[in-house]
Amino acid sequence: MEVIIHRGTIQIGGISVEVRTAKSRILIDFGLELPDADGQICDKTFEVDGINKGNKLFEGVFFTHYHRDHIGLISEIHPDIPIYLGRDGIQIYRKFNDNIKGKDSEAIKRLRPYEMYKKTVHGDISITAFPADHSAYGSAMLLIEAEGKKILHTGDFRLHGFRAKAILNVIRELVGKVDLLITEGTNISNQYYGTRNEYELQQWIKEVVHSNKYVFVLCPSTNIDRIASFYNAAPMGRYFLCDQYQKDILSVVKESTNSKWYQFDKALTYGENLKLHDRGFVMLVRANSSFLEIASRYPEAILIYSMWKGYLDSGNPSLTEFVKPFKENGRMRILHTSGHATRGDLVAFIKRINPKQGVIPIHTDNADEFEKIDFGVNFIRLNDGEAYYLKD
């Protein structure tokens, strides 16, 4: 069995990993590069032979989750190649792209669900998905088995979210010893170990929400764990508001789980008939003119910014305009934590997995940093397009 990192050894985003045997080939993720500081995609012509170039050569493409840097090139995949995403992820991704037309729409319709904990077989390769904790609901780690070897591909993950303990238990009890670990390394360069976890963030959210009658929230529409924290923090009698688009996404989640944390029963859509001034609200917003007009009616409101801080520094005109009045009046709060594992957690995770043959870092712009750390396992430094052959 061999592994080829087609893209991802020197950059964050635009990820694509191939696993092949003498008989079969699968691809894990086929992502679009993240935009640069000016909002431009650097490489629009990423090709993998047998996927979006030449004849069909792969048994399937498996997406770890629905973020664009992992699934963004879905429409380029050969139409005869099966494509897979977790069941919950498919429902959210389809709802998120309701208005998409053309090739992207047709590709999204082709998505097939994989079930967590259930093995699927393609040729002589088997793939089992396990839940991962990430800022995309329904994210997965993938266990690939073939020729008597086991590879664990982490996708994007973290250990400071709500399901961290469950992830570690699953790996210990159901995954067991692996030969090779392919792990994301987004935060490997960040020496700061004190990243707040979702439980701590939940308490700070509650304090701000309870201290302010009118609260606007800028948060990604599919960061369901974070949205659930805001929803559950809203005091009794306070409205929790969003638009219909956001409510449809929340309804998908509500229908997929029995957990009370994700029920969203009291989520309402914005309307003039609600007594907002009397009762107050927690309102999910996006940085556009419609929500800016609503926000202008509540000059005493607080804005909670709950996204990656880098977006604020990117110069995005819509975002800059939206947050400006809140920043100028000192009524903006940044309450956020990363969807990716901290440097400290990456170290602990790799040591816990302790792969027999070693670890290959991807989704990182500083893979060399891994070489400086004593993980107690072999560090395998690959370049894009380079193959690693698993030893017997």
Last residue within a domain, chosen from 314, 334, 354: 334
The DSSP 8-state label assigned to residue 260 in this structure reads G
Same domain membership, residue 285 and residue 205: yes
* pLDDT confidence of residue 191: 65
Which 3 state secondary structure label does DSSP give 191?
A: coil
Same domain membership, residue 232 and residue 172: no
CA gap 284, 217 in Å, rounded:
5
Same domain membership, residue 239 and residue 169: no
Neighbours of 111 (CB within 10 A): 23
CA gap 68, 25 in Å, rounded:
23
Same domain membership, residue 55 and residue 134: yes
Last residue within a domain, chosen from 315, 334, 353: 334
Residue 277 banded pLDDT, cuts 50, 70, 90: confident
CA gap 70, 65 in Å, rounded:
7
Structural domains in the chain (count) = 2
Encode 304-330: b = buried (16+ Cβ within 10 Å), e = exposed: bbbbeeebbeeeeeebeebbebbeeee
Range of the domain at 37: 2-190+339-389
* pLDDT confidence of residue 180: 98
Residue 41 banded pLDDT, cuts 50, 70, 90: low
CA gap 149, 28 in Å, rounded:
17
Same domain membership, residue 164 and residue 37: yes
Query: What CATH code is carried by the domain that includes residue 119?
Result: 3.60.15.10
* pLDDT confidence of residue 192: 58
Contact, 52 vs 122, CB < 8 A? no
Query: What CATH code is carried by the domain that includes residue 320?
Result: 3.40.50.10710
Same domain membership, residue 205 and residue 329: yes
CA gap 25, 15 in Å, rounded:
17
Same domain membership, residue 254 and residue 162: no
Same domain membership, residue 184 and residue 50: yes
pLDDT at 391 over 50: yes
Q: What percent of the chain has pLDDT over 90?
A: 81
pLDDT at 14 over 90: yes
CA gap 26, 120 in Å, rounded:
12
Last residue within a domain, chosen from 334, 361, 376: 334
Which 3 state secondary structure label does DSSP give 156?
A: coil
Same domain membership, residue 138 and residue 243: no
Q: What percent of the chain has pLDDT over 70?
A: 96
CA gap 327, 313 in Å, rounded:
13
Neighbours of 137 (CB within 10 A): 24
pLDDT tens sequence across 303-327: 999 998 888 887 789 999 999 999 9
pLDDT tens sequence across 82-135: 999 999 999 999 988 887 777 788 899 999 999 999 999 999 999 999 999 999
- Reference 303, options 286, 278, 317; nearest CA is 286
**Host H or E run for residue 323:** helix 317-328
Contact, 285 vs 295, CB < 8 A? yes
